[in-house]
A and B are shown apart, each in its own frame.
Chain A
Amino acid sequence: MGNSKHLGLYLLAPAGIFVILFFLAPVILTGIFGFTNMSTATGITGGSYMVSESSMRPLRSHFGEEALADQLMQRVYTIDEAGLQAAAEAGGDAAAIRELEARFLGQSFDRRRDVEVAIKSLNARPSSTRAIKLISAEFERSVVNTRFDTPEEMLAAIAGFGIVLNNAQTEALVDVAYTGWTFTTQNFKTMLELPDTKKTLINTLFYVFATLILFNTGFALVLSISTHYMPSRPAGFFRSIWLLPRVTPPVLYVLMWKWLAWDTGFLSVILEPLGFAPRNWMLDTPANAWTFIILINGIVGASMGMLIFSSAIKAIPPALFHASEVDGATRRQQIWHIILPQLRWPILFITIYQTLSLLTSFEYILLATDGGPGGATEVWALSTYLKALSNYGGALQYGYGAALSLVLVVIGISVSLIYLKLFDFKNLTAPPKIE
């Protein structure tokens, strides 16, 4: 008997594991990644240390070490054994190389021209400039673009060039030279700075609320209320029709819309005789793109609200309708004073649920316009997907993408809280004082 207490826990364990693996873990990882600069460049494992054009940029701008950066980026030209051998292998003139070794071994030059002047001064100087350049190239020495596994190796190499660093400089250099990912709040600063962010945010809010108000709640209410006043057979028929888009595979569904809108599609064909030039009606203008996006999402999205609202209306005792009729309520007054107040809870539920799903779902936009024309229909979730997981250049910004997702989560939660406040949730769920 004592074990039966824990039986429930054992039974729930698989569900618990799934929740942790597929829900909690991604959420937590997204939260963590949002505060990193992970990208294809940094990789998701550790990195190495390297002085490069890009790592010097923060050294100059952030640490103000202009001189040091110049120094590190500087190349020196040293006539050494390794260089001589490399020059020979590269096909440099053998006599010239031998003379160079004899006369200049161990000498350093700051500029390549100086090396070339030295080569030209040789008795066995090569005849062409190309041959001279071929040899001179092999003596270039610098830390630039060399990968070091540890900071110590990099610092040793730098010391080898006679560059002396103080403690602050060492720290700054190790910091900027690291090529792996690091924790940073830079993503959020970037987000605030980029003008795209504001546009995407406005797009998202417009998309979510227009679809929600026009279709997912509004049209769903219209459907469920109008079918409520119909005889049951036609009512059932209408409701089934509006369920069809929901059960159509999204790719096919969007494809049908594309056929409708293509420049050789249905719309173009029927509008051409009326004097409208054939065009891709969906991507023609931002307004058109939005119209299609909202229709595509709304017609699928209205069905869920319709089902929920219809069953909620069915659950209203018929006596309330009878009572309101004899009290003198017209149909419109009945809708306003009886049906809608009774639907407060389902409307709240659908509004929150659909807001969250519209905020996060972008598959129809991706399939229909892919954010176009010119980013006009790029919403937050789509932008996140493009930044983090799908980019033509192949440079994926995981950290930035995660940060964007994180903001989406915050937006979702805030909007839900606002709804609960608006709908007076506390009063909705307050237990009655007498049963």
Chain B
Amino acid sequence: MRILLDKFTKNFGDLTVIDEMDLEVHDGEMVALLGGSGCGKSTTLFAICGIHKVNGGRILFGDRDVTNITSQERNVGVVFQSFALYPHMDVAHNIGFPLKLRKETSTEIQRKVDEIAEMVHIGPLLKRRPGELSGGQQQRVALARALIRRPDVLLLDEPLANLDATLRLEMRSEIRRIQRETGITAVLVTHDQVEAMSMCDRIAIMDAGKILQITEPSDMYNNPVSDYVAGFLGSPPISFLTGIIQNGSFIEPATGAKIPVRKAIAGSHAGREVRVGIRPEYYQPDKGVMIKGTVSMIEAQGRETLYVVTLPDGNILRSIQGSHSPVKIGDAVNWGIDAEHMLVFDKDGLLI
């Protein structure tokens, strides 16, 4: 069922956390709310599930306006960051709790619990208490509890933040699998761009209570609306340089290297200062516009290696390379920028 936020506004006292946010999540889609800590992701999520009252705007599930409906009546499933399992109930009772509240018969509850436990792979754990489960198992129980009512929407608040690295990888695909199997409309809140990119159909990137851009992960990676968005996505991150457009090229101030830009930009921004973003995979030893610098850091990342190259004026470029090259820290290198994939932003940080 689609979710629509229409000019949704939320304040805590004098502090306006979300100001007139519009967001549409299509039926069956999984959208990530991505942003730094404190930008209002959880606030948005809590408004969607009804824990927070909104101060302005509307929230629609399908065509139903749920703005003033209590969370009890919204039929949403929520997985909280801390999982929020009831410590005094065993796993079966935790999962069956929403049904028990609706006074379903115990045989019915048991049947549904078994079914959902099967789906999230926790069949043998039903008699345990949450305190006797590992993080990943608790996560699965929380998912099962959120899903057992067949909710209209599933909301996940940083569901992987409390798991260790290997579990995070496993649960990433598990959550996506379960979301696909159930076809449920889902909103995932996360501050981790890898999570957002790998799990969701679309990403809504937020900053200070506003959605900056909402689109598919690859589109957002390749065509970020602003330098902020470009900086948020990608690991290792994009590098920025500031300079002037002259004669159809971006002039790198420290080395004087000329990097050609698109005709439109060359025309509209001739003589103006711009900011360019170069992703590590587009700064490579043997192609593009050569630019000189000194290797200041080398970071082995297993299959790949990250090199940080410092230009004469102290700005840096990052390069990620698959094959191991014999370069050492302090070596002077002359590597090339792929002009095709260079992102150009204006003075306000917007993509040109």
Which one of B31-39, B78-86, B228-236, B330-338 is at the interface? B78-86
Residue of A nearest to B93 (CB): A337
Chain B residues 67-86 with CB under 8 Å of chain A are 70-74, 76-78, 80-82, 84-86
Chain A residues whose C-beta falls within 8 Å of the C-beta of B88 in the assembled complex: 341-342, 344
Q: Among the listed B49, B129, B133, which residue makes an inter-chain contact with A326, where contact means beta carbons less than 8 Å apart?
A: B49
Known: A326-B49, A326-B77. Contact between A433 and B84, CB under 8 A?
no
Q: Among the listed B71, B72, B82, B133, which residue makes an inter-chain contact with A317, where contact means beta carbons less than 8 Å apart?
A: B82
B101 touches A319 (CB 8 A): no
Q: Among the listed A319, A329, A341, A344, which residue makes an inter-chain contact with B84, where contact means beta carbons less than 8 Å apart?
A: A319
Most buried by B among A324, A328, A338, A342: A328
Most buried by A among B50, B76, B88: B88
Q: A29 an interface residue at 8 Å Cβ cutoff?
A: no
Chain B residues whose C-beta falls within 8 Å of the C-beta of A344 in the assembled complex: 88
Q: B10 an interface residue at 8 Å Cβ cutoff?
A: no
Chain A residues whose C-beta falls within 8 Å of the C-beta of B105 in the assembled complex: none
> In the complex, what's the smallest C-beta–C-beta distance from B143 to chain A, in angstroms?
13
A326 and B77 CA atoms in complex are apart in Å by: 7
Q: B58 an interface residue at 8 Å Cβ cutoff?
A: no
Chain B residues 141-164 with CB under 8 Å of chain A are 145, 149
A327 and B85 CA atoms in complex are apart in Å by: 11
Chain A residues whose C-beta falls within 8 Å of the C-beta of B76 in the assembled complex: 326
Q: B98 an interface residue at 8 Å Cβ cutoff?
A: yes
A432 touches B131 (CB 8 A): yes
Q: B221 an interface residue at 8 Å Cβ cutoff?
A: no
Query: What 0/1 pattern do residues 85 to 107 of B give for CB contact below 8 A with A?
Result: 11111000000011001100000
Chain A residues whose C-beta falls within 8 Å of the C-beta of B134 in the assembled complex: 434
Q: A325 an interface residue at 8 Å Cβ cutoff?
A: yes
A319 touches B72 (CB 8 A): no
Q: Among the listed A328, A341, A433, A434, which residue makes an inter-chain contact with B101, where contact means beta carbons less than 8 Å apart?
A: A328
A328 and B50 CA atoms in complex are apart in Å by: 11
Residue of A nearest to B74 (CB): A326
Query: Interface residue tally of chain A, by bracket?
Result: 20 to 34
Chain A residues whose C-beta falls within 8 Å of the C-beta of B133 in the assembled complex: 434
A434 and B98 CA atoms in complex are apart in Å by: 26
B51 touches A326 (CB 8 A): yes
A330 and B71 CA atoms in complex are apart in Å by: 10
Residue of A nearest to B81 (CB): A319
Residue of B nearest to A431 (CB): B131
Chain B residues whose C-beta falls within 8 Å of the C-beta of A329 in the assembled complex: 72, 101
B98 touches A322 (CB 8 A): no
> In the complex, what's the smallest C-beta–C-beta distance from A419 to chain B, in angstroms?
19
Chain B residues whose C-beta falls within 8 Å of the C-beta of A327 in the assembled complex: 97-98, 101, 145, 149
A434 touches B132 (CB 8 A): yes
Q: A102 an interface residue at 8 Å Cβ cutoff?
A: no
Q: A168 an interface residue at 8 Å Cβ cutoff?
A: no
A205 and B332 CA atoms in complex are apart in Å by: 91
Chain B residues 280-332 with CB under 8 Å of chain A are none
Chain A residues whose C-beta falls within 8 Å of the C-beta of B131 in the assembled complex: 432-434
Known: A322-B46, A337-B97, A434-B133. Contact between A328 and B72, CB under 8 A?
yes
Chain A residues whose C-beta falls within 8 Å of the C-beta of B46 in the assembled complex: 322
> In the complex, what's the smallest C-beta–C-beta distance from A290 to chain B, in angstroms?
37
Chain B residues whose C-beta falls within 8 Å of the C-beta of A317 in the assembled complex: 82, 84
Chain A residues 329-345 with CB under 8 Å of chain B are 329-330, 333, 337-338, 341-342, 344
Chain B residues whose C-beta falls within 8 Å of the C-beta of A330 in the assembled complex: 72, 101
A325 touches B50 (CB 8 A): yes
Q: A413 an interface residue at 8 Å Cβ cutoff?
A: no
Query: What 0/1 pattern do residues 48 to 59 of B give for CB contact below 8 A with A?
Result: 011100000000
Chain B residues whose C-beta falls within 8 Å of the C-beta of A337 in the assembled complex: 86, 97, 101
B132 touches A328 (CB 8 A): no
A325 touches B71 (CB 8 A): yes
> In the complex, what's the smallest C-beta–C-beta distance from A366 to chain B, in angstroms?
42
A433 touches B132 (CB 8 A): yes
B84 touches A333 (CB 8 A): no
Chain A residues 371-397 with CB under 8 Å of chain B are none
Q: A11 an interface residue at 8 Å Cβ cutoff?
A: no
Residue of B nearest to A319 (CB): B84
B132 touches A322 (CB 8 A): no
A331 and B50 CA atoms in complex are apart in Å by: 15
Q: A12 an interface residue at 8 Å Cβ cutoff?
A: no
Q: A323 an interface residue at 8 Å Cβ cutoff?
A: yes
A69 and B340 CA atoms in complex are apart in Å by: 130
Most buried by B among A322, A337, A341: A322
Q: A320 an interface residue at 8 Å Cβ cutoff?
A: yes
> In the complex, what's the smallest C-beta–C-beta distance from A435 to chain B, in angstroms?
8
B82 touches A328 (CB 8 A): no
Chain A residues 189-231 with CB under 8 Å of chain B are none
Chain B residues 190-224 with CB under 8 Å of chain A are none
Q: Among the listed B50, B80, B97, which residue makes an inter-chain contact with A319, where contact means beta carbons less than 8 Å apart?
A: B80
Chain A residues whose C-beta falls within 8 Å of the C-beta of B149 in the assembled complex: 327-328
Residue of A nearest to B134 (CB): A434
A337 and B84 CA atoms in complex are apart in Å by: 14
A328 and B78 CA atoms in complex are apart in Å by: 12
Most buried by B among A323, A330, A342: A323
> In the complex, what's the smallest C-beta–C-beta distance from A324 to chain B, in angstroms?
8
A338 touches B129 (CB 8 A): no
A322 touches B72 (CB 8 A): no
Chain B residues whose C-beta falls within 8 Å of the C-beta of A322 in the assembled complex: 46, 51, 78, 80, 84
**Sample of 30 A–B contacts (CB below 8 Å):** A317-B82, A319-B80, A322-B51, A322-B78, A322-B80, A323-B78, A323-B84, A323-B145, A325-B50, A325-B70, A325-B72, A326-B71, A326-B78, A327-B98, A327-B145, A328-B72, A328-B73, A328-B98, A328-B102, A328-B149, A329-B72, A329-B101, A333-B101, A337-B86, A337-B97, A337-B101, A344-B88, A432-B131, A433-B131, A434-B132
| 7 smallest beta-carbon distances between A and B, as pairs | A319-B84, A432-B131, A323-B84, A327-B98, A341-B88, A328-B101, A433-B132
List 15 other contacts, CB 8 Å, given A317-B84, A329-B101.
Answer: A322-B51, A322-B78, A322-B84, A323-B145, A325-B50, A328-B102, A328-B149, A329-B72, A333-B101, A341-B86, A341-B89, A342-B87, A432-B131, A433-B131, A433-B132
